[in-house]
């Protein structure tokens, strides 16, 4: 059994955090199970209540634990991993999706570049845009919200195609010069506003991982701009690099 080492230079609350994390990783504390109470942890490891509370609060703030008022502290579901090595700008695309008709689309509407400054910067054309928003779910929980902007000057029937649930090969039929073949992505951390909070089932102000993707045709023409917002408490980014 893991124990607290009072002679270690590692703070006691950090040691307790590591013990709890080890029990989560090993399955001793399964997902959604209740962990021992503050008093139980104090007695088991011979440490003070403030020390236990600090460990639990940090694990809660980091998303490993969650609290239910009047019921106790529970183990959060594991975060889904986004492997940056495998992630590309096509991941959340409407145009490049094999079956866009099967996406969980919440809205399809027309917007103008005047409404969104980024559209002017990305496309540099005067056009109205199809604005298509859909959500991703994993383990029956909302994981991300994605919004795709597609110029109606290039794809004038895209809104009708999406509403009629046409597959990608039909949407792109006869549009070979506009087929997406490259992408550019950027990543930043933002915080939920009122709209995102409703879609992602979060309180406003929670952290999100925002990925901006621009898809280009073979000629370098931007054909789709995608904004993907992932719940930071439900996913983690995995970076793998090898020295050459």
Based on the fold, state whether residues 165 and 53 are members of the same structural domain. no
Based on the fold, state whether residues 156 and 224 are members of the same structural domain. yes
CATH number for the domain spanning 175: value is: 3.40.1410.10
Based on the fold, state whether residues 70 and 87 are members of the same structural domain. no
Contact 111, 149 (CB under 8 A): yes
User: What pLDDT shows up at residue 237?
Assistant: 65
Based on the fold, state whether residues 102 and 208 are members of the same structural domain. yes
- Residue 94 domain flag: yes
- Residue 102 domain flag: yes
Based on the fold, state whether residues 126 and 226 are members of the same structural domain. yes
Last residue of a domain, one of 77, 93, 127: 77
Domain count of the chain? 2
> If phi over 0 gives left and psi between -120 and 50 gives alpha, with beta otherwise, what is residue 122?
alpha
Based on the fold, state whether residues 95 and 186 are members of the same structural domain. yes
Structural domain range at position 213? 81-238
Last residue of a domain, one of 21, 44, 77: 77
Phi, psi of 226 (to 5 degrees): -120, 130
Based on the fold, state whether residues 207 and 159 are members of the same structural domain. yes
The closest of 69, 73, 93 to 24, measured between CA atoms, is 73
CATH number for the domain spanning 65: value is: 1.10.10.10
Based on the fold, state whether residues 130 and 53 are members of the same structural domain. no
- Residue 215 domain flag: yes
Question: 195 burial class (0-12, 13-18, 19+ CB within 10 angstroms)?
Answer: exposed
Based on the fold, state whether residues 94 and 131 are members of the same structural domain. yes
pTM for this prediction: 0.67
Last residue of a domain, one of 77, 106, 131: 77
Based on the fold, state whether residues 100 and 216 are members of the same structural domain. yes
- Residue 113 domain flag: yes
Based on the fold, state whether residues 27 and 126 are members of the same structural domain. no
- What is the Cα 119 distance to its own chain's centre? 22
Per-residue pLDDT of the chain (244 residues), as tens digits, is 468 888 889 899 999 999 999 898 888 999 889 999 999 999 999 999 999 999 999 888 777 888 888 899 998 876 655 555 555 557 788 998 878 877 889 999 999 888 887 888 899 888 899 999 999 887 677 888 999 999 999 999 999 999 888 888 888 888 889 999 998 888 888 988 888 888 888 778 888 889 899 999 999 999 999 999 988 877 766 655 555 5
Compute the distance between CA of residue 216 and CA of residue 207 in angstroms, rounded to an integer.
Answer: 29
Based on the fold, state whether residues 109 and 193 are members of the same structural domain. yes
């Amino acid at each position: 059994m893991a124990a607290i080492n009072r002679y270690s230079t590692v703070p006691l609350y950090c040691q307790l955090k590591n013990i709890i994390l080890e029990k989560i990783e090993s399955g001793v504390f399964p997902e959604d199970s209740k962990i021992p109470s503050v008093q139980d942890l104090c007695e088991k490891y011979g440490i003070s209540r403030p020390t236990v509370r600090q460990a639990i609060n940090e694990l809660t703030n980091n998303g490993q634990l969650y609290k239910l008022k009047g019921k106790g502290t529970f183990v959060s579901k594991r975060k889904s991993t986004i492997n940056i090595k495998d992630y590309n700008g096509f991941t959340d695309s409407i145009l490049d999706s094999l079956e866009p008709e099967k996406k969980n689309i919440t809205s399809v509407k027309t917007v103008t570049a005047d409404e969104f400054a980024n559209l002017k910067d990305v496309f540099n054309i005067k056009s109205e845009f199809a604005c298509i928003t859909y959500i991703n779910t994993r383990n029956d929980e909302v994981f991300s919200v994605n919004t795709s902007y597609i110029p109606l000057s290039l794809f004038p029937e895209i809104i009708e195609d999406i509403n009629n649930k046409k597959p990608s090969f039909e949407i792109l039929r006869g549009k070979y010069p506009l087929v997406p073949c490259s992408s550019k992505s950027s990543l930043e951390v933002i915080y939920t506003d009122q709209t995102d909070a409703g879609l992602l089932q979060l309180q406003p102000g929670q952290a999100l991982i925002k990925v901006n993707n621009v898809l280009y045709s073979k000629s370098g023409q931007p054909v789709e701009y995608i904004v993907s917002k992932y719940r930071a408490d439900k996913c983690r980014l995995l970076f793998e690099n090898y020295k050459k």
